[in-house]
Amino acid sequence: MAVDYRRTGGIAGLSDHLFIDNSGRCTLERKNARFGFSLPAADLQELRGLFQQADFFNLKDSYLPEKMGADLFTYVITYRTSGGEHTVTTMDMAVPPALMPVIIQLDKIVSDNSK
């Protein structure tokens, strides 16, 4: 498993890039800062479960709002397993409900490890 997560936009103009490899090693880039850390095995397993619950490989490639806004976040999530790879791009106001728990967890990982 590997996760490549990018979150950009918002009022503050965020630009976050999180990469998680199969062993739980992570690299987080936020504007001018770079962080390296490891996720505990339980957190990594929880994240895998959230991708499974979201039926990630069956989500569409793109979910975009009808009206664009300057302060919306854009999310690009690539999930890789031995079974393949799939990327979903979405924005605030268009995130499918099944994907929301994945985004919440990835945002928490970014927030918890960027200090």
* pLDDT tens digit sequence for 15-48: 999 999 999 999 999 988 999 999 999 999 999 9
* Structural domains of the chain sorted by starting position, each given as residue range(s) with its CATH number in brackets: 2-112 (3.30.1560.10)
Q: What is the pTM (predicted TM-score) of this model?
A: 0.94
C-alpha 78/C-alpha 43 separation (Å) is: 18
Contact assessment for residue 101 and residue 23, using Cβ atoms and an 8 Å cutoff: no
DSSP-assigned beta bridge partners for residue 35: 28
C-alpha 101/C-alpha 43 separation (Å) is: 13
Helix axes 100-112, 41-53, angle to 10 degrees: 160
Residues of the chain with pLDDT under 70: none
DSSP-assigned beta bridge partners for residue 27: 19, 36
